[in-house]
Each structure stands twice: as structure tokens, then as C-alpha cells.
């Protein structure tokens, strides 16, 4: 028996990916297609990923698209990675009939659950698919949940104990939207078979994403160290004390891995709202306000005892250089660092 042709061997080595969208805004797809150096198509090609279908990027529509999904469900088409963007809509009353798959009359949640059993790996792209996210706010009449979580609680559509054939849980790529590099990097690791259970944190998020805090690499860290705080959004000081910034509490490398080579929410002048964390969408207060008790912020930095924070904050404020104190409440840097040489 002759060996397979090189083209056939290459096809066998490629990993197939099916991307579905459910209850959401499509923002994670918009973020992905803005990827640079490389663009996402180049990244997929380099990782050996073949995109079977994507509702916004593929040419197939209608019966053609349904035919691809049916081929997977019937076992005629291998599916290595199933990606879901957007929350699973289980309403009303757990029937899922608030979101039907066009052309079939079948609840989307049932299609997703059946595809998950066929897939080599299942990936939740974005915080809606992971935990329910923005789609689940308010009284959640639509029954929006994540693939394996309902907010912070394990559950969702597949259940917290769901595992794929390799023993991996649903891989959650958080964010609202996700960083494009988080998506391409995680999918490349899955395609290579390099993502292990130990590479995921307790919420199923890759530690390559959540191993650092958003605070790390923040351009305003010097202001944070001296508690030189901004008072309004256009100020250049630290936004933790007054403007609700949760960079010291949120997992993510947003500031050390610039978005499309440009920056992050914080470098753009807006506080971190912890969009990589379950429940971020309903903090219980306006996003740009910091709740306090007796003048002390309620949300303290991760792993920071309150007594130490209060003591260090008092010392830091007492030692704040004039440059930082004055610049913190300005819309631009007005006082510049002084060198060690003699003043002119």
C-alpha cells in the first residue's frame, strides 16, 4: 500500500476549527480580525488550523453552513476545536427557544451541546461564552450562561465537571472583548497538543493570560506607588482610589502585551473594569467610581491585607514627590523629572 501523498499528509495534520456565535455582540470576532503581527489568518495558518466555518468570515451561508455542522454531528467531518463566542441562551424556562439555529428550528444550546461531544476541545471565546458576561446582566430573563460556568459558579450549559477526550475542561479565554493574541496563542497551543490541565487556572483560563495582573506593566504605576490619584477621567494619575480601576485585582496581561501594538484600556485613559473576571458586568456601583468605607477603597489589591495597604498608602502619600502630586490631577504632564545636575 502506497504512502499518502504529501498534500494528504498535510491535510491530516491540520486541526479543524468551527466557530459559532450565540448571545453576544460579536466584539470578540471584531477584536480578532484587528490582530496585527501577525493577522489572525496568518496565525491560524502557522498553527495548522483549518477554519471550517465562521458566521461572519466564511462564504458559506444558509443550507451550506448547516451542511457543515450536520457533517460534524454525523461524524463525516472531524472537528478538533469548537469555539463559542457569546453566552448560551437557555430561556425561556430552560427550553433554549429564545435562540434558534436559523433554518432548523432547533435551539442553539442543543446544537452547541451536541457539537461539544464531537469536538476534540471546546473553547469559550470571551467572558460571555465563559461566564454569561454582559448578556446575563439584570434579571437575565434570557437565561444567558457560559459553557461551563454560570457567573462564578461551575455549571452553565455543559456543567463544571465536563471534560474533553484529553481531560481538559472548557478552555475559557476571558475578556470583553478578548485580546486577539490570547485567542490565537491558545488555539495554537491546542492545535499543537501543548496545552495541559496544569496550564489552566481554577477557572479554566490559560495561565499565560491570567498569570499576571492587569496592574503589571501599567503606565501609571509610579502614580499608584505614591497614591497620587486622578480625580476625573482626563487626569493622568492612578485611577484606583477614585475612578474604579481594578487593575490590581484583575487577571490579564493587557498592559504588558499591548493591544495591536498600541496600548490598553488604561493607557487609553479608562479604568480597568476587570472584564476577564466572572461577574465584572455587575460590580454594584458605576464602573468609574470606587466604593469606599471610611475613605478606604473596598476593592483592595489582590493578596494585599487591608492593614498593610492602609499603612503603606499613608506613607506613600506622605512621600509623594511634587511632580507626581501635581501631575496626577492634570490632563497632561506639566511638571517634569529633574536631573541630578545643577538647575539652569
This prediction has a pTM of: 0.91
191 and 240, same domain (yes or no): no
Q: Which of 73, 64, 57, 60 is nearest to 19 (CA)?
A: 57
Does residue 50 sit within a domain?
Answer: yes
How many CB atoms are located within 10 Å of the residue 306 CB?
11
Domain boundary among 160, 175, 208: 208
Q: What is the pLDDT of residue 69?
A: 97
Q: What is the pLDDT of residue 341?
A: 61
Would you say residue 312 has pLDDT above 60? yes
Q: What is the pLDDT of residue 307?
A: 76
Q: What is the pLDDT of residue 118?
A: 97
Q: Which of 164, 180, 1, 160 is nearest to 82 (CA)?
A: 164
138 and 271, same domain (yes or no): no
Domain boundary among 175, 208, 241: 208
Would you say residue 155 has pLDDT above 50? yes
The mean predicted confidence, pLDDT, of the chain is 92
Boundaries of domain holding 317: 212-332
Does residue 27 sit within a domain?
Answer: yes
- What CATH number corresponds to the domain at position 295? 4.10.480.10
Would you say residue 3 has pLDDT above 60? no
Would you say residue 8 has pLDDT above 50? no
How many domains does the chain fold into? Answer: 2
- What CATH number corresponds to the domain at position 87? 3.40.50.700
- 176-191 tens-digit pLDDT: 999 999 999 999 999 9
- 35-92 tens-digit pLDDT: 988 999 999 999 999 999 999 999 999 999 999 999 999 999 999 999 999 999 999 9
Dihedral-angle region of residue 155 (phi above 0 means left; psi in -120 to 50 means alpha; beta otherwise):
left
217 and 178, same domain (yes or no): no
143 and 20, same domain (yes or no): yes
Domain boundary among 182, 208, 234: 208
C-alpha to C-alpha distance for 92 and 112, rounded to whole angstroms: 17
Q: What is the pLDDT of residue 4?
A: 52
246 and 139, same domain (yes or no): no
246 and 200, same domain (yes or no): no
Contact 50/16 with Cβ under 8 angstroms?
yes
Q: Which of 206, 49, 199 is nearest to 125 (CA)?
A: 206
289 and 179, same domain (yes or no): no
Amino acid at each position: 500500500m502506497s504512502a499518502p501523498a504529501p498534500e494528504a499528509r498535510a491535510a491530516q495534520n491540520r486541526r479543524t476549527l468551527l466557530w459559532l456565535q450565540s448571545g453576544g455582540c460579536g466584539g470578540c470576532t471584531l477584536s480578532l480580525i484587528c490582530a496585527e503581527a501577525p493577522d489572525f489568518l496568518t496565525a491560524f495558518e502557522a498553527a495548522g488550523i483549518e477554519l471550517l466555518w465562521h458566521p461572519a468570515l466564511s462564504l458559506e451561508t444558509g443550507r451550506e453552513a448547516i451542511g457543515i455542522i450536520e457533517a460534524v454531528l454525523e461524524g463525516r467531518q472531524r472537528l478538533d476545536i469548537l469555539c463559542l463566542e457569546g453566552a448560551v441562551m437557555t430561556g425561556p424556562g430552560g427550553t433554549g427557544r429564545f435562540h434558534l439555529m436559523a433554518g432548523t428550528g432547533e435551539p442553539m444550546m442543543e446544537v452547541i451541546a451536541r457539537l461539544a461531544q464531537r469536538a476534540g476541545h471546546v473553547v469559550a471565546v470571551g467572558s460571555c461564552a465563559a461566564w454569561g458576561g454582559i448578556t446575563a446582566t439584570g434579571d437575565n430573563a434570557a437565561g444567558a450562561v457560559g459553557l461551563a460556568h454560570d457567573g462564578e459558579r461551575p455549571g452553565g450549559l455543559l456543567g463544571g465537571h465536563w471534560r474533553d477526550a484529553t481531560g481538559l475542561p472548557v478552555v475559557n479565554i476571558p475578556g470583553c472583548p478578548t485580546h486577539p493574541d490570547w485567542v490565537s496563542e491558545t488555539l495554537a497551543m491546542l492545535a499543537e497538543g501543548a496545552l495541559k490541565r496544569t496550564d489552566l487556572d481554577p477557572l479554566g483560563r490559560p495561565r499565560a493570560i491570567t498569570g499576571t495582573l492587569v496592574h503589571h506593566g501599567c503606565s501609571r504605576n509610579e502614580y499608584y506607588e505614591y497614591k497620587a490619584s486622578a480625580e476625573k477621567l482626563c487626569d493622568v494619575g492612578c485611577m484606583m482610589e477614585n475612578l474604579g480601576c481594578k487593575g490590581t485585582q484583575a487577571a490579564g496581561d493587557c498592559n504588558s502585551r499591548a493591544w495591536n501594538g498600541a496600548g490598553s484600556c488604561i493607557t487609553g485613559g479608562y479604568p480597568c473594569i476587570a472584564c476577564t473576571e466572572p461577574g465584572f458586568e455587575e460590580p454594584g456601583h458605576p464602573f468609574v467610581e470606587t466604593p469606599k468605607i471610611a475613605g478606604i477603597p473596598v476593592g483592595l489589591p489582590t493578596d494585599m491585607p487591608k492593614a498593610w495597604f492602609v499603612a503603606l498608602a499613608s506613607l506613600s502619600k506622605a512621600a509623594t514627590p511634587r511632580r507626581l502630586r501635581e501631575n496626577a490631577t492634570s490632563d497632561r504632564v506639566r511638571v517634569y523629572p529633574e536631573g541630578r545636575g545643577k538647575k539652569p
